[in-house]
Each structure stands twice: as structure tokens, then as C-alpha cells.
Structure 1
Amino acid sequence: MNKLLIVLGLLLTVVACKTEDKKVEEQAIEKEVVKYTSVGKEISADAAKSTLEMAETYRAMTIGDTISTKLIGTVDEVCQSKGCWMKIDLKDGHQVMVKFKDYGFFMPKDIAGQEVIMYGKAYINEVPVDEQRHYAEDAGKSAEEIAAIIEPKKTFSFEADGVLLKGE
């Protein structure tokens, strides 16, 4: 009987003293360092609107409205003459026509498909036929495509003060 009490006492001691070892796993998440090339006015990469957020902003605007904002997006095309404009895909079927403040800087001509962050003024613009044809010519469009431009077009526009071009 003493043996039974001793075994029972040891068993109770083991069960009572058993504590669950809760392990807190710490994951060291390394922050990815993204390198950017700055063009124009120096800007930071933080707090940029996504293309979907910007598409909503543009839909709420009318011709003549202007807002200061920062946008992150992917370059669709660039002026092949001298890099004096670029188009950003909004991923909703629209593009943003980007020009650079006071033609103070230009973008490399080979950045289609690359990510950029821009700070400047977003606005809605009505582009006349002659200006549309000029941009089509800069983009290397055919004579037939240029001749097919026959009416003014409402566009989502952006005048960038500075651009960050994501490095590889």
C-alpha cells in the first residue's frame, strides 16, 4: 500500500508540475531593400497610391480638377524620340499620360514594363487631335494609325515633379 501511495504521489507530482512549454517563434523577416534611381526632384518611395486607388481617384475627377499625389505603377510606353513622356497602366483599361514638370527631365526610352513611383499633379485633360497625333508619332505609330485620330480625347494626365525608377 505504501508503494501504491508513493507511485500515486509521484504521478500527481509529475502531472501537477508539468507545464506546457510554449515556444514563441520569432521570425526574422528581412526587409527587402529596393533600390531606385531618382529622376527630377528627389522624392521618397513611401505612401504612394496603387494604380487601382488612382483609377478610383481619376473616375471621381472632372476636366480641370487637379490633385497632388504620389503614384506607383508600371510603365506601358515611353516617348521614343527623347523620353519626354510616358504612359502608366492603371489596370482598369485606362492609362495615365505622364509629362515632366517644365520638361526639366526625361526618362530612359527603354523602361517599358518597369515599376516607377511618381510625385506630382494628377488631372483630367482633353487632348486636342494635333497633340494626340504628335504623341502617336513620338511613339512610332504608323501613318494610318496617326490619320485615324480625328477627335479630342479625355485623358487621365499626370505632371511629375520627380520619379523613382525601380532598379534591378
Structure 2
Amino acid sequence: MKLRICTIVLLISFSSLCFSQEAVEKAAPPAGNALVGDYYGSDVSNGSVNKAVSVEKLEKDLKITNKIENVAVKGEVTDVCPKKGCWLSLKTEDGSVFFVKMKDYAFFVPTALRGKNVVLEGVAEKKVTSVEELKHYAKDAKKTKDEIDAIKSPKEEIRFLANGIKVVN
């Protein structure tokens, strides 16, 4: 009898874990309008907002060193992961973009962040992104099969790991 009860409890526990994992996989980006002053992750202090460097300055600094810790950067969001809000792209002055992930996958951003100006706080580095990873993000961004298949070589780019993101206008 005890064995039967333990088996039933075990099966119920296992099935609840399966359902919660399914809910995580089907998660959508958080709701919200991304209004001025809203922040995601750690709040970005006004001091950091005032000291935030442009993307152009960040690019110049990363030519000297491959990694910069505790940096605040300001720019315009051009894209947000439509699947979960787990990454975004920030526009550079020359029209290219760089990729931003959230530290420890600890927070997500709403798709309404697209087109907004933000200040990011975190770590920036130059990195070579593999073809496999580039294709993964292209799938997340719902690119066409032809666009995904066209990715044939790794790409050196700026990558940013954000502790916090604040909408500034």
C-alpha cells in the first residue's frame, strides 16, 4: 500500500514538473508599454544614466580593450526577442546593431521596448559569435528559412550582458 501511494505521489510530482517546464517554454515577453522611467532587471541609477556613453564611444573603447565591465551605454532598441523578450538589439551610429542578453537570464523585456531609447548597465565585449548561435537568434527573431540558411560564417560583434535596462525616452 505504501509503495502504491509513493508511486502515485511520485507520478503527480513528475507530471507537475513537466507542465511547469511547458509553461516556461511557451512564455511570452512580459506585458508593458516600456514607458520613460520603466526599468528591467536592476534599476539603472540616475548617475549611470547621466554618465552613459554612446554606442560610438563604446565601439572606440572596445578597439583598445576587448571587454569593459560596469559600463552604461545609451542607444535605440531596434529589435526584441518576440519569443520571450530574452534579448534585444541596439542600433549603432553607423546603422549596424549589437546584441544584448540579460545577465543570468534573470529578466525579460517587453516587445514594446522596440524603438525606445534606453540606458543599459552591464558588461560589453567583442566576441566572435558562431554560425550555430547566429542561426538560433535568427530563428528566435522569426527570420525566413532563406535568411537563416544565408548565415554561413561566424561574426565578430559587440555583445552586451545587461544587469539592468532603463527606458529614457
Fold shared per TM-score above 0.5: yes
Tell me the CA shift for residue 155 of structure 1: 1.2
Distance in 2 (alpha carbons) for counterparts of 1:47 and 1:73: 13
Counterpart amino acid of 1:157?
R
- Seen in structure 2, the aligned counterparts of structure 1 residues 101 and 125 have a Cα distance that, compared at 3 Å, is same
Moved over 6 A (4+): none
Say whether 1:46 aligns with 2:50: yes
User: Aligned residue pairs: how many?
Assistant: 132
Q: Which residue in 2 is equivalent to 1:101?
A: 103
Contact 2:44 2:164 in 1 (8 A): yes
Q: Which residue in 2 is equivalent to 1:57?
A: 61
Distance in 1 (alpha carbons) for counterparts of 2:159 and 2:73: 12
Identity across matched positions, percent: 33
TM-score by length of 1: 0.73
SS at structure 1 position matched to 2:112: coil
If each structure's helix is expressed as a fraction of its own residues, which one has the higher value? 2
Distance in 1 (alpha carbons) for counterparts of 2:101 and 2:64: 21
Choose from 110, 115, 136 the match for 1:113: 115
Distance in 2 (alpha carbons) for counterparts of 1:122 and 1:75: 16
Contact 1:66 1:124 in 2 (8 A): no
Distance in 1 (alpha carbons) for counterparts of 2:39 and 2:95: 28
> What RMSD in Å do the two structures reach over aligned CA positions?
1.7
Which structure's CA Rg is the greater one? Answer: 1
Tell me the CA shift for residue 93 of structure 1: 3.8
